[in-house]
Structure 1
Amino acid sequence: MITVLAPAKINLFLRICGKTDAGYHRLDSAIAFTHFGDHLTIESAHDDQLTIIGEFAGGLESADDNLVMTALNGFRAAGGVIGGLSITLEKNIPVGAGLGGGSADAAAFLRAVNALSSMPLGKDALYHLAASLGADVPVCLAGGCQRIAGIGETMTPIDLDFSGAILLVNPRIPLSTKEVFTRFTCPISGFAGSVSNLDAAGMVGLGNDLTATAIELAPAINSCLDRLARSKGAIATAMSGSGASCFALFDHIDNAEIAATEFENTGYWARASMIYQPD
């Protein structure tokens, strides 16, 4: 039996760079991960089964339709060999929150099952399988801090020097990524250029082009951002992905935890954590 973390994803910045011929939005974004996330426990079993527990288990579709099971079936179809598995998914990341929960789950599962397999997939095959599951799954599979381009298929590792804390906040309003992108009509910022001289706060300052559209659908996002900016020790604030989750970088975990308690006391979901830094 093994237990693995599926870390929550944040977009330090997200800029729209136009559309592909197929109608998908081209992005320029820097993605990082936190020490907070979902947990997957995997053990051998006679038959495959997925049990979903945790605060946000009720927000998911049936276990049979979960992306983790799709990933397992895809792994075998691609030539990976693994016996029956009993999987428990502890769902701690809010659903429809812009924190990459489903993608993070699928990616963490693929890494784990490939390590357990008697006939694992090669790096390229595993990447192609991840890409077939969703646009965010490859970057979640790669981990670390990555700058993505296109529709997420191009990734470049970024050195992120940040030793402070991060606070994730959600107004308990799920947002559909598809709806936010469909309704997006704002001016685009385009490619951000070199970020090599920017620290984490500087990257956050490059903005998220989807924020205004997401606020139209969920006005509570605006209040969330205002409150985060006024929190003691907050260095930089932004919405993550297509929302409705927002985040703030903090100078110290103590200040992030104080702010988290203040948000929770008024009905928000909030978690203080640290940004994951790969070895």
Structure 2
Amino acid sequence: MVELTVWSPAKINLHLEVLGLRPDGFHELAMVMQTIDLLDALELESSADAAITLECDRPGLPTDGSNLIVKAAELLRLRSGLPELGARIRLRKRIPVGAGLAGGSSNAAAALVGLNALWGLGLGDGDLHALAARLGSDVPFCLAGGTQLCFGRGERLEPLLPGASSSLAVLLIKHPAASVSTPWAYGRFRDLRGRSYLSGEEAFERRREALRRGPLLQALPQPGPLPTLRNDLQAVVEPEVASVREGLALLRGLPGSLAVAMSGSGPSLFALFAGQPRALAAQALLAEDLGAAGFESWVCGFRASGVMLEP
């Protein structure tokens, strides 16, 4: 019997800038991330056998200890100091896997929120954020959601005004056979652009402030045109991945789109429109070409929050 359901939304990157290397070996990033209403669902029930089990309706997705959901559950149980806690978790998967949409990170965030409630632990937002940062760079954002500036590895969040871009809609496409390794994308970017990396906190902060005051954040709350979206990884992925090149060409040819970009390290691609009717019309206009090229597509709205317990 399902005791709790947690909704787990995807994200897109409205800005992804690689600033340089951090002392810990990770890249220092300056990003704007946005939650969208493409949702997975985690169904949770308590277990009396101190076991944490995961089932998924997507064949081939690992459900053992390598899955971030299981890692999140084990980390939360360890934090609780109650080794007798157990749970049965079922994942209903709609977000494409390995798509640059933070589906796995969002699922981990949903596990933290859901099991915190299921087990009655009463951990606050700060505690959950700290656990999320240990699980992965995107997990803290997926907890909070909405429209956020994300710095550091992605775990340092600065929320933007509620309601920013709430009227925008997304036409999202992905070829199901395409995949991009995130470590490869960052490594390739470093090989090609590493000589131009910034160095030191002062230089990083100047770029953060430029983003805070830049044209994208000025334009987002307003109806109308958007500046060209920046994704530094797109510059290295697009030449190497045929489906990314083909998909971007299809989206760039659409009338009425406000901006076109790749999300994260890809290979998911999106176009933004002023409202869902225009995004749906664009999807219909492209339907034949998308089908011929083998792409899947979704029309999504922007969400003002991240993972959410079903009322």
TM-score of the pair, normalised by structure 2: 0.81
Q: 1:211 aligns with which of 234, 244, 266?
A: 234
Cα 1:278–1:153, aligned 2, differ >3 Å: closer, same or farther?
closer
1:5-44 equivalence runs, <5 A = 5-44=7-46
Whose radius of gyration is greater, 1 or 2? 2
Equivalent position of 2:299 in the other structure: 272
Distance apart, 1:98 and its partner CA: 0.5
Distance apart, 1:170 and its partner CA: 0.9
Residue 71 of structure 1 pairs with residue 72 of structure 2: yes
Equivalent position of 1:260 in the other structure: 283
Cα 1:140–1:158, aligned 2, differ >3 Å: closer, same or farther?
same
Q: 1:199 aligns with which of 205, 215, 220?
A: 220
Distance apart, 1:50 and its partner CA: 0.7
Cα 1:204–1:108, aligned 2, differ >3 Å: closer, same or farther?
farther
Cα 1:53–1:204, aligned 2, differ >3 Å: closer, same or farther?
farther
Separation of aligned partners in 1, 2:30 and 2:236: 18
Q: Determine helix, strand or coil for the equivalent of 2:230.
A: coil
Cα deviations by residue, 1:44-87 (Å, 9 ceiling, x for unpaired): 23343210114xx42x2243321101100000111265832111
Separation of aligned partners in 1, 2:64 and 2:283: 31
Residue 242 of structure 1 pairs with residue 265 of structure 2: yes
Separation of aligned partners in 1, 2:273 and 2:156: 29
Separation of aligned partners in 2, 1:171 and 1:119: 41
Task: Give the residue type in structure 2 aligned to 1:265.
Answer: G
Distance apart, 1:258 and its partner CA: 4.0
Cα 1:215–1:31, aligned 2, differ >3 Å: closer, same or farther?
same
Contact 1:204 1:238 in 2 (8 A): no
Distance apart, 1:123 and its partner CA: 2.9
Unaligned runs of 5+ in 2: 199-206, 307-311
Distance apart, 1:165 and its partner CA: 1.3
Separation of aligned partners in 2, 1:16 and 1:259: 31
Cα deviations by residue, 1:149-175 (Å, 9 ceiling, x for unpaired): 111131100122330311111122111
Unaligned runs of 5+ in 1: none
Separation of aligned partners in 2, 1:87 and 1:228: 37
Separation of aligned partners in 2, 1:203 and 1:78: 43
Cα deviations by residue, 1:99-136 (Å, 9 ceiling, x for unpaired): 00100100112112112232232333221211111111
Residue 51 of structure 1 pairs with residue 55 of structure 2: yes
Q: 1:174 aligns with which of 146, 170, 179?
A: 179
Contact 2:106 2:143 in 1 (8 A): yes
> Which segment is superposed worse, 195-204 or 38-47?
195-204
Q: 1:120 aligns with which of 118, 122, 125?
A: 122
Equivalent position of 2:160 in the other structure: 158
Contact 2:180 2:265 in 1 (8 A): yes
Alignment root-mean-square deviation, CA: 2.3
Contact 2:57 2:92 in 1 (8 A): yes
Separation of aligned partners in 2, 1:249 and 1:269: 17
